[in-house]
Structure 1
Amino acid sequence: MSNLNIRKVAVLGAGVMGAQIAAHLINARVPVLLFDLPAKEGPKNAIALKAIETLKKLSPAPFGVKDDAQYITPANYEDDIAKLAECDVVIEAIAERMDWKHDLYKKVAPHIGPNAIFATNTSGLSITELSQGFDEALRARFCGVHFFNPPRYMHLVELIPTTHTKPEILDQLESFLTSVVGKGVVRAKDTPNFIANRVGVFSILAVIAEAKKFGLRFDEVDDLTGARLGRAKSATFRTADVVGLDTMQHVIKTMQDNLKDDPFFAAYETPAVLAGLVAKGALGQKTGSGFYRKEGKAIKVLDANTGEYVDGGGKADELVGRILKRPPAERLKLLRETQHPQAQFLWSIFRDVFHYIGVHLASIADNARDVDLAIRWGFGWNEGPFEGWQAAGWKQVAEWVKEDIDAGKALSNAPLPAWVFEGQVAANGGVHGVEGSWSAAEARFVPRSNLPVYERQVFRAALSGETSARDPKTFGKTLFENEHLRAWVDDRAGEDDIVIVSYKSKMNTMGPGLLDSLVKAIDIAEDGYKGVVIWQPTSLKLGAPGGPFSAGANLEEAMPAFMMGGAKGIEPFVKKFQDTMLRVKYANVPVVAAVSGIALGGGCEIMLHSAKRVAHIESYVGLVEVGVGLVPAGGGLKEAALRAADAAQAVGAAPSDLLKFLQKSFENAAMAKVSGSALEARAMGYLKPSDTIVFNVFELLDTAKKEARALSAAGYRPPLRATQIPVAGRSAISTIKASLVNMRDGRFISDHDFLIASRIAEAVCGGDVEAGSLVDEAWLLTLERRAFVDLLGTQKTQERIMGMLQTGKPVRN
């Protein structure tokens, strides 16, 4: 396969999806031209320019760093159409109208380069029909590429070929989308709404139909169909409100218009309650009301019977809640046999989806794996529907579904296909097995894609039942393992030279036992390996990709020492934490932090002390100890002082100017700022320009190992211990405190906030010494440790800690 060298991408259409696709390409450092119609008034590029400005204000943020909006080049079809020839990929993302798309294609086709890939971002229109009118060469380079909204955060991209699309075009685009853009690619057949929306929207329609049948409230259904089922917290009706009820109606209409011969056609009728809300202009979150409406601080829910909004609070019955905690087979059996309407409802929605995917697998997807991954990545389910069916006992569940179909309880009378009950699937006990996943169209189990890009994924997204998948908790050779962490090596040929450390604590927090184990792993690495990578298997949990890397020090584990010895009793733990960070920094082999998700407090500090950082784009980094009334004490402030001294020395700044090199680090810690991305972590100074940012979380471990190996090959030596660090001293502390006084007196911060921020200033500026005084790391660490212990002895900090442990939320006192 030849490499696809993508120098520039054109996105046609500066609407919601087009602009956000452009933004995420910029995150990935891909130059983008964003096209739209020429404006009738003002600058010709006004439509694209306005879209770019709007991107800066959106939440969740489409850009990793807002200022990167400047890198999108606005364009219009009148003045700039010849620039399409410069682009290696052209993505059309205008409104879902076949006639509008065809009109645009006639305009742009002559200008698309002879080797460029042309793709349409559509959520359900026929790709083959869209390609009508192309010449043979362009048709061979045309396909569908369906991003999910919002494109930065949703892992799924569906890739849809026509019968004319060249296979190598799909392979090149899949490789680019996987590694550069960071997506999970599923290849879908050219059928209405493809895979994820086809199954996902049917699932929502089934929920609405069964909720009506069993007389359940919308908030009751959301409590039943969200986190309790391992699905998105927004569940069903809240998700519909967020997506937009008009959008939901449009997607349903696509199914009505294009699936008239479908045996489930009757189920595609627009629910009366949805049609009624859209008719009233109640379109969900964007209009302020839909299935839910906010009145003051109260969230009201629509009563389907009266059409009025009533107080929320509908919940799962305690009995049903207990059933949902049972193992899969027992759970489905109990739901089916329990007469409670909530239980009957849940069995019914499981049955409806199993029935649907069984009937439609052959027509919508190449194999069952693609259905499961599309639903997991596109709709945020922890397990796909085929996985759930197989885990609950394939044959028994199939018999139950058949009984309900025969009894007229299902949403269609279409029988399950024969392959469900006999042959290879029945013998295997389901659709996922050692040979791959079942393809109903080919009547065989098909293995995973072997594109070279997937060699970078040590652990690919695993499916339950797919017994050939590697388990990150057991794969490789374990060097040692205890309750705190596992130290191991990838024992494949040529991969066994790096020690990998994976934590096992809740939220990957670090207590005394884990710190001792980390030091032991470094000792082992120094004795015969090329480096250490700290990487957490939790990075691979998708749905939502990433993390946590580490939520910091384990306060709960330190509480017994506090109870016995008061604030002073904690000091040995803080000293151990600091010593461990220094052990990481001065190890004789490179320690590389492979960061994804949250890296907070001590999690940020271990990252700062590592030889190098490899961070997934969705990394949220910060020193947040202020939230529990403390200061960072694992060397984070010490590292800020060191970096400020280095930066000042690089430009020959005087000691009196040190404060301006410290200001950003002080504010980050004093305001507990957390980066909104790895790109922002770099702008905040938590990542260095030389650190690596990866876009696909599944490539994080492989990239980190390669970085450790490269450092070793270059003759890695740890930094020399700094013994003469110039600090900003008491004059800088006074300057900071003066601004803090104004904030306190203006009641922007509390008295206790003032105290904490003052102690941060003292630590980061080197204490009560003259500006330019030379200190060592031990001095700075002592300042951190002393401030930490002193604050821990105050009542208000103790209140903050207890509040955080009990509620998970910061207390402002």
Structure 2
Amino acid sequence: MTNFIVKKVAVLGAGVMGAQIAAHCVNAKVPVVLFDLPAKEGPKNGIVLRAIENLKKLNPAPLGNKDDAAYIEVANYEDNLDILKGCDLIIEAIAERMDWKHDLYKKVSPYIAPNAIFASNTSGLSITALSEGFDAELKARFCGVHFFNPPRYMHLVELIPTVATRPEIIDQLEGFLTTTLGKGVVRAKDTPNFIANRVGIFGMLATIYEAEKFGLSVDVVDDLTGKKLGRASSGTFRTADVVGLDTMGHVIKTMQDNLESDPFFAVYKTPEVLAKLVAAGALGQKAGAGFYKKVGKDIQRLDFAKGEYVAGGAKADEVVARMLKEKDPVKRMKTLRESTNPQAQFLWAIFRDAFHYIAFHMESIADNARDIDFAMRWGFGWNVGPFETWQASGWQEIATWVKEDIDAGKALCNAALPAWVFDGRTGVHTPEGSWSASSKTYVPRSELAVYQRQAFRAPVLGAGVADGKTAGTTVFEDDSVRIWHQNDEVLILSLKTKMHVIGPGVIDGMEKAIAEAEKNYKGLVIWNSDAAEGGAFSAGADLQAMLPLFMSGGVKAIEPAISRLQQAHMALKYANVPVVAAVAGLALGGGCELMMHAAKRVASIESYIGLVEVGVGLVPGGGGLKEAAVRAAKDAKGTDLLQFLKNYFTNAATAAVSKSALEAQKMGYLFADDVIVFNAHELLHVAKVEARAMFDAGYRPPLKAQVPVAGRYGMATISAQLINMRDGGFISAHDYKLGTMIAEIVSGGEVEQGSVVSEQWLLDMERKAFMELLNHPKTQERIMGMMQTGKPVRN
């Protein structure tokens, strides 16, 4: 094994994509230099400097920590080409014009280091045509790489080799993209628009065509083709607006220019409505108008017939919404096909069009069916890929229906389904691999070393792979938790409650897991099986579980439960083997407290962490404020404690939630030496490695801390600011009460400044405040509001 280490990346082109790719490299601690043309006036690197400023304003944020923008090195093609000689990977990301790209390549190729990989980030131009004019040596190191927008959040990267690309270059790049940048890599053939855009944009065009045919408005179509189908909530037309109608038009044009012999060619005609919008400058979200337009607080929709904007917000028919709720995919598809409702007929039509298209084109556009499914899941935000949907809905029956529609002239073209569709199969995904139409075999998953780091790879429906819910050896399992291992000396605790909330069952599970780990294992990892699929680490304490206690015995009945939660967290902190929290997604309230008490945290970059109890009118009661006081004292190391305390106080009092793991480090919820992982599929592997390493290095739990506190002085200083906020109308009286209580706890209460207290003293203060608030009518209003609507009540 030879290490492929990317010491520095160059990104050519500081447009929207180029700048965001550079930002994501910086997120991952990869040094990066961003190039663009020299500015005509002002500083020569003005174009790049403006692009970097813009990164700080974009939402969703491309940078995990805005301050890291300073690490992007700036350059222009006139003065700085020498910098390229020190780069191992060069990604060109300028506008989608073959002639411009070729001009740039002429300029930069003399400066490319002899072992560097050179890649073009293009959404659909021919990689082979782009490499024309290179010498054989550079051709062997050139490939296409296609990031999806926004690059930090979209999991998909398509890798496109040419016939001349050296295979080991592609393997090395796949490893770097997967682990360092956290991506899901799909290898595509060098065909127009590759896989995801070819299938996805066809799907959008087919949807527009069928919507017109069935007379459905854009808002109804978006309601039908969004969350209800397990796809991105923006549906079809809203997605087009977000992507940009000019960008979409560009991708469609690539299809028109290169696919004349495709039987679906007629579908690639630019829809008239799209052409009109682009001509009028209504390019979607960035222009303030597209298929939708924001007028004041209202979102209006384009009426195709009238050519003007009218009130929007129409939803799918209730009867169709009910059909889509059917759990059995076979029944669901049958109901849609047999229904006379135009919306149901429309849905069957877009499914049929997609199945027809992918079956017909699989051989030419992709190595196998799995790559098409992953491309759509990771690039377009579908929960289930199109081949998976077909297979789950009954392969043979669907194939027959599609054929019937083609024969009856209902399909988008009369091209026949390929023969392999009817060879008696029950689908395209099997435990041996996924069907490849070009090699007529089932292709297994890639065996590259990078995938050894993924205990549970992204699953494919029908492939029968082990998942984190059932794999390994179970030590104990009930409705709340599963305690298990994979024969590698590390015990795993997985939560099974909804959103992994913490109730009595989870606390029991924590106690059992610690006892078992101390007896028989090197460490304990807290990890949830849906970590890589966007699940939560834990959304906090289980308020529903508290209700029966509250109803039967009032506030007093809840106190023992809070006390138990505090002690369970303390047991994690002082366990005799290392406890590692593997965090991904939401870690809120009690979930944040649970994580703070582990010996170490391994967090996915996409971790949203915070003490949010004030949202339900409570203060953190599971040791979160106690930890804040402990951490502030540690940070201060005897200097002005209050400076450090204010940061922790503000985060808890405003219920601030980190927008990334990097920001959580800045907020103090993660330590500087906690590990940030970019690919959530690698979370479990890294957490286990950390736990074993800590044990093997002779781990001992921390000694019970005595905590120096800010006392009355801290309380008074923080409260003075709160009074100004209350009197200025920025916070309510109840927020003020919560704020003063938090200030009192993190300051250690009515003691002299610099007094030393125990952790238990702070926990007792937390619990007392928590109990007092539970009795408060304003808090009860907030709790009921949150449970009924899921939104915080401001009172």
TM range (shorter): over 0.9
Match of 1:629 among 617, 625, 628: 617
**Where do 1:311-330 residues align within 5 Å?**
311-326=311-326, 327-330=328-331
Q: Which residue of 2 aligns with 1:787?
A: 769
- State the number of aligned residues: 794
Match of 2:485 among 472, 480, 489: 489
Q: Which residue of 1 aligns with 2:276?
A: 276
Q: Which residue of 1 aligns with 2:472?
A: 476
AA of the residue aligned to 1:255: M
Match of 1:619 among 602, 607, 628: 607
Match of 1:647 among 618, 631, 635: 635
SS across alignment from 1:725: strand
Match of 1:705 among 682, 688, 694: 688
**Where do 1:208-287 residues align within 5 Å?**
208-287=208-287
SS across alignment from 1:570: helix
**How far does residue 108 in structure 1 lie from its aligned partner after superposition?**
0.3
Q: Which residue of 2 aligns with 1:735?
A: 717
Specify every segment of 5 or more residues in structure 1 that has no aligned partner in the other structure, as ranges. none
**Where do 1:18-167 residues align within 5 Å?**
18-167=18-167
What's the TM-score once normalised by structure 1's chain length?
0.97
SS across alignment from 1:532: strand
Q: Which residue of 2 aligns with 1:346?
A: 347
Specify every segment of 5 or more residues in structure 2 that has no aligned partner in the other structure, as ranges. none
Rounded Cα–Cα distance in structure 1 between residues aligned with 2:83 and 2:755: 58
**Where do 1:379-418 residues align within 5 Å?**
379-418=380-419
Q: Structure 1 residues 302-311 or 246-255, which shifts more?
A: 302-311
What's the TM-score once normalised by structure 2's chain length?
0.99
Please tell me the root mean square deviation across aligned C-alpha atoms, in Å: 0.9
Rounded Cα–Cα distance in structure 1 between residues aligned with 2:97 and 2:634: 57
AA of the residue aligned to 2:470: T
Q: Which residue of 1 aligns with 2:784?
A: 802
Rounded Cα–Cα distance in structure 2 between residues aligned with 1:658 and 1:18: 42
Partners of 2:320 and 2:344 within 8 A in 1: yes
Partners of 2:481 and 2:505 within 8 A in 1: no
**Where do 1:690-701 residues align within 5 Å?**
690-701=673-684
Rounded Cα–Cα distance in structure 1 between residues aligned with 2:306 and 2:170: 51
**Where do 1:491-506 residues align within 5 Å?**
491=487, 495=488, 497-506=489-498
AA of the residue aligned to 2:440: A
Q: Which residue of 2 aligns with 1:765?
A: 747
Rounded Cα–Cα distance in structure 2 between residues aligned with 1:522 and 1:231: 39
**How far does residue 434 in structure 1 lie from its aligned partner after superposition?**
1.4
SS across alignment from 1:527: helix
Q: Which residue of 2 aligns with 1:513?
A: 505
AA of the residue aligned to 2:663: E
Rounded Cα–Cα distance in structure 1 between residues aligned with 2:216 and 2:307: 14
Partners of 2:121 and 2:146 within 8 A in 1: yes
Is 1:688 aligned to residue 684 of structure 2?
no
**How far does residue 224 in structure 1 lie from its aligned partner after superposition?**
0.7
Match of 2:446 among 444, 449, 469: 449
Rounded Cα–Cα distance in structure 2 between residues aligned with 1:222 and 1:647: 50
**How far does residue 647 in structure 1 lie from its aligned partner after superposition?**
2.6
Partners of 2:714 and 2:747 within 8 A in 1: yes
**How far does residue 309 in structure 1 lie from its aligned partner after superposition?**
1.9
**How far does residue 475 in structure 1 lie from its aligned partner after superposition?**
0.5
SS across alignment from 1:208: helix
**How far does residue 470 in structure 1 lie from its aligned partner after superposition?**
1.4
Moved over 4 A (4+): none
Rounded Cα–Cα distance in structure 1 between residues aligned with 2:308 and 2:12: 43
Is 1:755 aligned to residue 737 of structure 2?
yes
**How far does residue 432 in structure 1 lie from its aligned partner after superposition?**
0.4
Provide Cα deviations, 1:117-166, integer angstroms capped at 9, x if missing partner.
00000000000000000000000000000000000000000000000000
Rounded Cα–Cα distance in structure 2 between residues aligned with 1:338 and 1:727: 69
**How far does residue 26 in structure 1 lie from its aligned partner after superposition?**
0.4
Rounded Cα–Cα distance in structure 1 between residues aligned with 2:271 and 2:635: 63
AA of the residue aligned to 2:584: S
Rounded Cα–Cα distance in structure 1 between residues aligned with 2:183 and 2:731: 42
**Where do 1:192-211 residues align within 5 Å?**
192-211=192-211
AA of the residue aligned to 1:540: A
AA of the residue aligned to 1:538: D
**How far does residue 192 in structure 1 lie from its aligned partner after superposition?**
0.4
Q: Which residue of 1 aligns with 2:652?
A: 669
SS across alignment from 2:403: helix
**How far does residue 306 in structure 1 lie from its aligned partner after superposition?**
1.4
AA of the residue aligned to 1:608: M
Rounded Cα–Cα distance in structure 2 between residues aligned with 1:697 and 1:121: 24
Rounded Cα–Cα distance in structure 2 between residues aligned with 1:688 and 1:676: 16
**Where do 1:534-553 residues align within 5 Å?**
534-541=526-533, 546-553=534-541
**How far does residue 64 in structure 1 lie from its aligned partner after superposition?**
0.4
Q: Which residue of 1 aligns with 2:517?
A: 525
AA of the residue aligned to 1:489: H
**How far does residue 283 in structure 1 lie from its aligned partner after superposition?**
1.4
Partners of 2:300 and 2:312 within 8 A in 1: yes
Q: Which residue of 2 aligns with 1:589?
A: 577
Match of 1:465 among 462, 472, 479: 462
AA of the residue aligned to 1:486: R
Provide Cα deviations, 1:397-452, integer angstroms capped at 9, x if missing partner.
11110110011000011001011111xxx33x111001101111001001111000
AA of the residue aligned to 1:512: P
Provide Cα deviations, 1:259-301, integer angstroms capped at 9, x if missing partner.
1111100011111111122122211111211111122222211
Match of 1:431 among 420, 428, 453: 428
SS across alignment from 2:90: strand
Provide Cα deviations, 1:184-238, integer angstroms capped at 9, x if missing partner.
0000000000000000001111111111111111111111111111001111111
Is 1:359 aligned to residue 355 of structure 2?
no
AA of the residue aligned to 2:786: M
Rounded Cα–Cα distance in structure 2 between residues aligned with 1:696 and 1:14: 25
AA of the residue aligned to 1:190: D
Match of 1:745 among 710, 720, 727: 727
Rounded Cα–Cα distance in structure 1 between residues aligned with 2:480 and 2:118: 50
Provide Cα deviations, 1:560-617, integer angstroms capped at 9, x if missing partner.
1112232333211111110110111111111100000010001110111000000000
Rounded Cα–Cα distance in structure 2 between residues aligned with 1:258 and 1:432: 30
Match of 1:576 among 539, 564, 567: 564
SS across alignment from 2:282: coil
SS across alignment from 1:615: strand
Rounded Cα–Cα distance in structure 2 between residues aligned with 1:98 and 1:158: 19
Rounded Cα–Cα distance in structure 2 between residues aligned with 1:567 and 1:538: 34
SS across alignment from 2:95: coil
**How far does residue 42 in structure 1 lie from its aligned partner after superposition?**
2.0
